[in-house]
Structure 1
Amino acid sequence: MPLWAAVLLAAGAGAILDGGFPDRGWWVLAPVGVALMLLALLGRGPGAGLLVGMVAGLSFWLIHISWLTLYLGPVPWLALAILQAIFFGLSLAVIAVVLRHGPRIWPSALGRLGLVPATVAGLWTAREALTAVWPYGGFAWGRVALSQSESPFGSLAAWVGMSGLSFIVVWLSALMVQLLRERRLGRTVRSGIAVGAIAVLLAIPAWPTVQTGSTRLAAVQGASDAGLFARYAPGQILADHASATLPLIGEEVDFVVWPENSSDIDPTRSADAARVSDDISRAMNAPLVTGTITERDGKFYNSSLLWKAGQGAVGLYDKVHPVPFAEYMPDRAFWRPFAPELVDLVWRDYEIGTRSNVFDLNGILAGIAICFDIADDQLVREMIDGKAQIILAQTNNADFGRTDESVQQLAIARLRAIETGRTVVNISTVGSSAIITPDGQTLDSLPTWEPGAMVQTVPLSDTVTPAMRVGRGIEWLVSGLGLAGLTLCLLGAVRRRSGTIHRPLRFQ
């Protein structure tokens, strides 16, 4: 198709890809969006592929993270979207090379329908893996796998993890595109291959999670506006969560969990806040897991405390993945001239935590994730290595109002439950709060921006899923496959070019 048509198709494909994610959650649109991007790349060189990829990436990211504009305005939103679109464009530029030269280098049916889709999916996954950790700790949002949290393919996360699930979805999209290109096979054969590939994936059974016990917990949402620009009296957020917990007195629970920043006054430094935490723990006859900002040796931490009445903080976890440009300002002197007012909003820098992210709640081992931690593959694996039997994902989504951010984060929590074979308690100051069982089902949830509590008996498990056992090996494998395939395509293209009359490169 003409380049202008490919650019328009790429712009539409980005919007369609976003439609596969929550809030809409029309998961089938995700592989469709990817397939349309690949169609726009057919016949393109790397230059045109970069353009098409940049347009597709911008279309997707500008929609997907539009919640950033709610309080912070357009600058952070545009900056992050453009950065991610650059990565997107670079990956689609090399994918264009594979789509163009791969079928010539691997002319057999196995090459055209096997190696080409696998290489494309591997390169896509490699881009996701890179941007999940770099720069400044990465941004693990928007991975194709996250669109499948409530799809029939979601159960595959227990077998292959987040990166493996992204690979499968993109591989399926690339296979469909290659089948459309295939002229040597009849329509019936091509349809049979497409249906067979989908059927095989759907036939893979869910990983059997073995329940090793149960626990009864209370997860409390205070509906507190704890956003960056919110105005509240000191102690108001703490009071809101205490008030939402008081109706639970008399319930027999093993522990109570509050969200990130649920105690806006540090109980390790304030006698009044300590007294409130003591009262809650004593009244519920159970330890309290609460979030607060701690200061130690002049350094600030976004922390989760394990609080017991009469003993105080007997456990402490500091957020390992503070969000750059929000919870700390990397390279402040460099970035400040570009947007001094925005940079100065981040007036204190939270330190990167180094403590274990597993709490012992009277014999129950709980993995602790504070907000963005739940998107960090390495931290999740550390929980499982630490023998966590349940995951408590504490978060504060107040800065994002009623936007898609909270449900996008809940989708991550849901896939983590499947991937790890653990119950995940996603508890927020304002929502979306839910308890997700190891099969990805919602056991309980709370309306957004309304105070309330979830009191449930949930399964515990020490199952180690294949995804957790293999760890990042799957990611390295499929990324390496993509890079190896790209290398072969480049070498083959060079050999083909060297055997022909040299012609000037054209932007096509």
Structure 2
Amino acid sequence: MPERPRPLLPWWAALPVAVGAAFVYDLGFPGASIWPLAFVGIALALLTLIGRSIGGALLMGYVFGAIFYLVDVSWTGRYLGPIPWLALSLFEAVFVAVGALAIALAYRWMPRAAPGRFGRLVALPALVAGLWVLRENVVGSVPYGGFPWARAALSQSESPFAQLVSWVGSSGLGFVMVFLVAAIIEWLRARSWNDWRGALPVAATLVVALLLPAWPTAPNGELRVASAQGNGPAGYFDEREPGEVFRSQLDASEPLFDAEDVDVLLWPEGSVDLDPLGDPSAAAALDRIAERVDAPFIMNAVSYRDEKFYNTSMLWRAGEGATALYDKRNPVPFGEYIPDRDFYMLFAPDLISLVQRGYSAGTNPPVFDLDGTLAGLAICFDVIYDNLIWEGARDGAEVYLLQTNNADFRGTDENLQQLAIARLRAIETGRSVVNLSTVGTSQVMDPAGRTIDGLKADVPGAMLTDVELRTGLTPAVFLGPWVPGAIGVLSFAGLIAAGIAARRRRS
């Protein structure tokens, strides 16, 4: 194996830099939302890996990953205490550590495999960026469907780089971010700042990334959306009487019943706390609401069908009942169901026992037909899964109606992070997005990701918003899994090829 170069930072300096990198990186994400700091955090993390040994790279990567996740998803311990928070964060850090090892090997092998200017300033940064994104996509896929929550692209929902997601999706935007950082590091390390050719990769990437407009989808009319945020006791541990969440939603909707030309009434996830498919009184109440608003009515409830429980959004029409169903495609492991329950009961029986009912994953299409207008759907954490959003657009969705229940995360950054994901989805698909929560913050975004209507957190309220409809597929949707797939395959193959070439050159 090729001799590794001397570490850029000694271990006693690299360790605190890895810790600081995690905090700085998190400041770029929703909450603080200082998006340039995401680039700084990536740079600091990469500096700790240059010249690192295998053990050193694993340590630096694990420290960086653990601190970042502990801070970024601290809301996971809001109600259930530190065990789920620590377990998730420390587990995800294992993937970050393995990714850090791959990046450290790229820094060791690529300069020997391709020692010229191109190898140093283009191939090496591209390989580092690809390996970073590959690690993100692995985290977003395994285990139990993965957790693609804290990808680099999420930090850029309000930055000038956000338009890139319409072309290459979140994976492509993450690749560009890390490539820029890694290319600047190599340009400085090569001490070639007096040679303008050394700055070309960075300059060309910046010009394209900042000047390339979002892909233009085609306007196709408007949809008048009435939506209500009840701010009821919708949390897992909230004390409430049966039907109290429903009543809070009904009260918040009162101003909408006098509105004219409403095309659809939207309620958030968990808005109906009885199953209208099995409870005639709940069905009758929904009929009355649909009659009053004189429009299709989309709500959400727990449904029981074929001896299974589902988190279900229903398209309800007066006198007809539920004419279409969408069951949440990606129920949350350890929150909405317990995978391998018997195994995990051995470690945390009290926590596992809290989740008595397990939701099954849905298989029905994530699109509702609203009298000729197709609306794409996602329920809460569904929005973080690329394939579901792409499927909705390919099925003809002209607008997205996203339902969520953030009541278990009041007072945390979770809702802001989810809103940022919804904003990126608007740009990525070129569609308007209505992101409606039980407790807020709820927002309506146009196809450019700009907020055009909203309700503050922890207050009941209603919105009546004319949202633009769009047709046509952006390159990100058209290419779909080919972008992350190509990045992953080429990066893995590139690392192996660099290792083989480096060994041969040394021999």
Interval containing the TM-score (normalised by the shorter chain): over 0.9
Verify: 1:254 aligned to 2:254, yes or no.
no
- Aligned residue among 343, 346, 357 for 2:352: 343
How far does the alpha carbon of each residue in 1:306-341 deviate from its partner, in whole angstroms, 9 at most, with x for none? 011111111111111000000000000001110000
How far does the alpha carbon of each residue in 1:283-322 deviate from its partner, in whole angstroms, 9 at most, with x for none? 1101110010001132111000101111111111111100
- Aligned residue among 426, 430, 433 for 2:439: 430
Q: How does 1:24-173 map to 2 (within 5 A)?
A: 24-173=32-181
- Provide the TM-score with structure 1 as the length reference: 0.96
Q: Does structure 2 retain, via aligned residues, the 8 Å contact 1:260–1:371?
A: yes
Name 1:494's counterpart in structure 2.
Answer: 503
Q: How does 1:1-12 map to 2 (within 5 A)?
A: 1-12=9-20
- Bigger drift between 62-71 and 261-270 goes to 261-270
- Aligned residue among 449, 453, 458 for 1:449: 458
Q: How does 1:15-414 map to 2 (within 5 A)?
A: 15-184=23-192, 186=194, 190=198, 194-252=202-260, 253-414=262-423
How big is the shift at 1:454? 1.5
Amino acid paired to 2:133: T
How far does the alpha carbon of each residue in 1:389-420 deviate from its partner, in whole angstroms, 9 at most, with x for none? 11111000001111000110111111011101
For residues 207 and 269 of structure 1, the distance between their equivalents in structure 2, rounded to whole angstroms, comes to 45
Q: Does structure 1 retain, via aligned residues, the 8 Å contact 2:192–2:198?
A: no
How big is the shift at 1:496? 5.1
How big is the shift at 1:68? 1.0
Which 5+ residue runs of structure 2 have no aligned equivalent?
A: 1-8
Amino acid paired to 2:362: G
Q: Does structure 2 retain, via aligned residues, the 8 Å contact 1:51–1:89?
A: yes
Name 2:6's counterpart in structure 1.
Answer: none
How big is the shift at 1:189? 5.4
For residues 184 and 233 of structure 2, the distance between their equivalents in structure 1, rounded to whole angstroms, comes to 46
Verify: 1:465 aligned to 2:479, yes or no.
no
How big is the shift at 1:222? 0.6
How big is the shift at 1:134? 0.9
For residues 219 and 23 of structure 1, the distance between their equivalents in structure 2, rounded to whole angstroms, comes to 25
How far does the alpha carbon of each residue in 1:147-195 deviate from its partner, in whole angstroms, 9 at most, with x for none? 1111000011000011111111111111111112113552765556544
For residues 271 and 304 of structure 1, the distance between their equivalents in structure 2, rounded to whole angstroms, comes to 18
Amino acid paired to 2:504: R
For residues 160 and 403 of structure 1, the distance between their equivalents in structure 2, rounded to whole angstroms, comes to 30
Q: SS at 1:490's partner residue? A: helix
How big is the shift at 1:71? 0.3
Name 1:504's counterpart in structure 2.
Answer: none
For residues 168 and 187 of structure 1, the distance between their equivalents in structure 2, rounded to whole angstroms, comes to 23
For residues 12 and 61 of structure 2, the distance between their equivalents in structure 1, rounded to whole angstroms, comes to 13
- Provide the TM-score with structure 2 as the length reference: 0.96
How big is the shift at 1:384? 1.2
Amino acid paired to 1:31: F
- Bigger drift between 341-350 and 292-301 goes to 292-301
Amino acid paired to 1:325: F
For residues 194 and 463 of structure 1, the distance between their equivalents in structure 2, rounded to whole angstroms, comes to 32
Equivalent pairs: percent with the same residue?
A: 48
Structure 1 residue ranges (4+ consecutive) displaced by more than 6 angstroms after TM superposition: none
For residues 215 and 329 of structure 1, the distance between their equivalents in structure 2, rounded to whole angstroms, comes to 39
